Structure 1
């Protein structure tokens, strides 16, 4: 069984639909705690580490073979808790970041400022891994006037300049307010407009899982990456790997990763 840790209930039907379409043998259990994101936005992701660890432990106690965190802001915190809970803990955006890291000019679009630094850092990790230890990283520019000084400093720390590539960040003003008010169409329209405004990029990353449906509304010819489908597929592989090692099987094998240019969630 795969447990999913969400910070918004809107993710539940998205992942249920992906499970039914691509992983019919997979059992899902959802945990939604929107207070985690609210606190992480106010005090930083580290402030929710104990709460995230507790949520993960509860999922394992409920029978989870692996846990997928669908919130990009707290994904790194969740990953670091894996050793404490004894099962694989995955962040939904890592496979997307790995696909993006193969490109030189990367644009990251987010509706929440605190998502930007973790996403840039993750792409940097995957760039280093993809370059087989050659130490390549990414250069983040510009950080954007919408970021407060603390977020801006975290972004500088997350991306190490070495000339190998760039990550440009785009914060979609007003989008998260629409999301929180329940205006999901308005939210997706603003995200799509921001994506269409991107220039000089080889790939565009939708930093939050809630943005995935905006990919169907864009007109850009630049490939647009979203996290739910590849993130769920990676989690399924973790569940299957545990079954192969002798645990009770919880899922059927996942399909091969989709090409980077596909825009469906």
Structure 2
């Protein structure tokens, strides 16, 4: 079987390195192609909602990747759930949301789930995905959200240690949950620091996404 070509579509540059590193660890045979349109996250924040124009831009990126020979597409920004669903409906190849595999894993393990984010627009989209999956599998869910925008500011300024420390400080204050889920690929560097202060399991999206894409392509090729 030839190496699959996976297109990674990014709405922010800080998501690029974490997911590429995860593929290098977990699926080095995959051929990766990175598409970055970093105005998407800025425009979403400015609009305050996912507009039709933003959805069309996502669809154009997905169609470009499909035309360039993608075997699968993985979006890496968690704030654009509805736009990614539109891409899934339009294409015949596997198209995965960044958090899809992690959400399935978390709901299978826990009922009280905390979402930890550094980009506030991710919360709405992720919450909808959590509740939709929980309803689909017949589970009740108690969801809470915690946002630390200062961590994203630190990361964009190149200060990863401060980014990690800020997220760990917030995670240490989270109580009454069974599991903590990172909302974004860009947060993965904080995983050791957050796990060190948390009394509950902490899931990050990158590893789950890589394994989820591999499973989807394996199933399609059978």
Q: CA deviation at 1:31?
A: 0.7
Q: Which of structures 1 and 2 has the bigger CA Rg?
A: 1
- Flag the 1:243–1:123 CA change in 2: closer, same or farther, 3 A: same
Residue 40 of structure 2 contacts residue 54 of structure 2 at CA under 8 Å; is this kept in 1? yes
Q: Distance in 2 between matches of 1:76 and 1:230?
A: 20
- Flag the 1:3–1:224 CA change in 2: closer, same or farther, 3 A: same
Deviation sequence 1:106-136 (CA, Å, 0-9, x none)? 11111122111111111111211222xxxx4
**Which residue is equivalent to 1:67?**
73
Q: CA deviation at 1:80?
A: 2.0
Deviation sequence 1:205-243 (CA, Å, 0-9, x none)? 111111122110122121111100111111122223333
Which of 128, 136, 143 is matched with 1:129 structurally?
A: 136
**Which residue is equivalent to 2:216?**
238
The answer on 1:207 being equivalent to 2:213 is: no
How do 1:1-265 and structure 2 match up within 5 A?
A: 1-43=5-47, 44-46=49-51, 47-102=53-108, 103-131=110-138, 136=139, 164-218=140-194, 219-244=197-222
Q: Distance in 1 between matches of 2:19 and 2:152?
A: 21
Residue 134 of structure 2 contacts residue 141 of structure 2 at CA under 8 Å; is this kept in 1? no
Q: Tell me the SS of whatever aligns to 1:199.
A: coil
Higher fraction of helix: 2
Gaps of 5+ in 2: none
Q: Distance in 2 between matches of 1:165 and 1:85?
A: 31
Gaps of 5+ in 1: 137-163, 245-265
Residue 2 of structure 1 contacts residue 239 of structure 1 at CA under 8 Å; is this kept in 2? no
Q: Distance in 2 between matches of 1:101 and 1:243?
A: 27
Q: Distance in 2 between matches of 1:100 and 1:237?
A: 17
TM-score (norm 2): 0.89
Q: Distance in 2 between matches of 1:221 and 1:120?
A: 23
RMSD in angstroms over aligned alpha carbons? 1.6
Paired residue total: 213
Q: CA deviation at 1:99?
A: 1.9
- Flag the 1:28–1:49 CA change in 2: closer, same or farther, 3 A: same
